Chain A
Amino acid sequence: ETGVTQTPRHLVMGMTNKKSLKCEQHLGHNAMYWYKQSAKKPLELMFVYNFKEQTENNSVPSRFSPECPNSSHLFLHLHTLQPEDSALYLCASSQDPAGELGETQYFGPGTRLLVL
């Protein structure tokens, strides 16, 4: 596999469920990101990891919990979500550590999440 992969591609969950989103990058990059994309809103940065260390939590509710076991894998653990959390969740990676001006981010295909 090449690039950035995400699983699952689609997810429907109830508000009491617990689920996890997985992201894997095959590019040898040092930084990984979670974004939320909702209709009519700019892309929202949620979490940033540099060399496996979390460097950004962009005021994300605690019902979203990230995990980065190594520089190639990133998870987003979900529990007790709300219907307004329904969105496309995108993972990205970059060669340069996040914070380097102008680093290019490469994105996965996203997980389309629906919370009922």
Chain B
Amino acid sequence: AQKVTQAQTEISVVEKEDVTLDCVYETRDTTYYLFWYKQPPSGELVFLIRRNSFDEQNEISGRYSWNFQKSTSSFNFTITASQVVDSAVYFCALSDPNAGNNRKLIWGLGTSLAVNP
């Protein structure tokens, strides 16, 4: 069965620290997509990145970077030099051809990140 595990429920760091949010997924298929979303206190889920299963290159976007490791079924997210504005809940999700007719996104439970000044 498809599953997304975000083992870290809450993380608290001090501003300017680097922080890595873990995401481990389970799927039987070789073709799938992985996503990260950010949910600030305002409630809106903000799309951060989509990665397909055939592209294992790491991605960097400003202070954000993602490490995709198929060998360990992980898609971890690192924030470098964290800022207070990074405080949010971060969700990892899997889009899998076996997830039903509508290819429903399989969501993790989220990691709540608090960046303290």
Contact = CB atoms under 8 A, between A and B. Distances in A.
B103 interface: yes
Contact of B107 (A43, A100, A108): A43
Interface string A77-116: 0000000000010101000001111111111111010000
Contacts of B101: 55-56, 99
A88 B39 CA distance: 12
A108 B45 CA distance: 7
Measured as residues with beta carbon below 8 angstroms from the partner, the interface class of chain B is 20 to 34
Interface in B11-60: 31-33, 35, 37, 42-47, 50, 52
B107 A42 contact: yes
Contacts, number: 61
Nearest to B51: A102
A48 interface: yes
B109 A101 contact: no
B68 to A, nearest CB: 14
A40 B109 contact: yes
A104 B47 contact: yes
Interface string A34-77: 00000011110100100000011010000000000000000000
Interface residues of A, number: 27
B95 interface: yes
Contacts of A112: 43
B81 to A, nearest CB: 27
Contacts of B102: 45, 48, 55-56, 98-99
Contacts of A102: 32-33, 50, 52, 95
A104 B35 contact: yes
B63 interface: no
A101 B44 contact: no
